Amino acid sequence: MPPTLDDLLDRLHVVALPMRVRFRDIEVREVALIDGPSGWGEFGAFVEYAPPEAAHWLAAGIEAAYGAPPTPRRDRIPINATVPAVDADRVPEVLARFPGARTAKVKVAEAGQTLGDDVARVEAVRALVPAVRVDANGGWTVEQAVAAATALTAGGPLEYLEQPCATVPELAEVRRRVSVPVAADESIRKATDPLRVVRERAADVAVVKVAPLGGVGRLLDVAAQIDVPVVVSSALDTAVGMSRGLLAAACLPELPFACGLGTGSLFVDDVAEQAPAVDGTLPVAAVAPEPARLAALAAPPDRRRWWIDRIAACLPLTSPSRV
């Protein structure tokens, strides 16, 4: 059974982390942290998500704070660099925050930008990192995705196109028309049926995230039913949430791709000092926030109240199977 609301609120810390660069139109990342009997959990559903979707994220935080962790198979995880939709001349500055990374995920299809901007950004990354993948967050039509696949591979290969279009049928059509592998993210983490994208042969790679799926246990259950390679990624997590992503990746039987678990470097400051990447990998370990950082990064009282109200709305929607 989920914990009581009173118990959750007694253990709650709400923090606001400034971003180094705008990411998903976010300049300050707010999350609620739970100091639980089993460790720290994180509830960081993006603010626009309604309670039915945000409840999965709360379930993931409760799992971390109150549940027993699974046993990992490995102690270090290869990570990709993450390059937001910055101008091409800022790419070296961004990549410098990911020492040793040999794979980079580049954000494309940003509102207000052009395919030419995307190509310039990808080429700037390709000059510094050997393996490049792009993420459109569902921002293209089928025809735009097909054109982008051609333009973005003119200067070299892409590891995959992540969520080029919004719907599963569109992904399937893009996959039939391009030679670049197609990865699904939102079509898994935001779907009521996360396995549909695989059944309909709409993806070559599945990008899975702990919080949107409801926890490490749920992620591992979904991954076991997916017959394409899996990449574990973050949802702009703090060091607390990132530790759960690293744990999930460490528990998978196979890990053929670098994981998107290095986004902590996008924060000006975090709730805990993250271990530095070594040869493009991060260690698997539980994380406890530092009290001084929690105090310094505490959200204003009105925002804490907003998160308390949100938890009260989401808690009744958390399924016992998710916590």
Measured CA to CA, the distance from residue 147 to residue 106 in angstroms comes to 17
Measured CA to CA, the distance from residue 92 to residue 87 in angstroms comes to 10
Longest dimension (CA), the chain: 57
Residue 162 is labelled as binding a ligand: yes
Q: Which of 105, 209, 293, 310 is catalytic?
A: 209
Helix H or strand E encompassing 43: strand 40-43
* Helix/strand/coil for 8: helix
CA–centroid distance for 258 within its chain: 13
Q: Which two tokens stand for residue 215?
A: 């926890």
**Residue 107 among the catalytic residues:** yes
* Percent of residues in the chain assigned helix, strand, coil, to nearest 5: 40, 20, 40
Buried b (16+ CB within 10 A) or exposed e, 101-129: bebbbbbbbbeebebebbbbbbbbbbeeb
Measured CA to CA, the distance from residue 230 to residue 168 in angstroms comes to 17
Q: What's the length of the chain? A: 323
**Residue 105 among the catalytic residues:** no
Residue 135 is labelled as binding a ligand: yes
Q: Which of 11, 56, 107, 322 is catalytic?
A: 107
Kindly give, in sequence order, each residue whose CB lies less than 8 Å from that of residue 228, ignoring residues fewer than 6 positions away. 198, 203, 204, 205, 206
Which residues belong to the annotated binding site for Mg(2+)?
A: 135, 162, 185
Which residues belong to the annotated binding site?
A: 135, 162, 185
Point out the residues that are catalytic. Answer: 107, 209
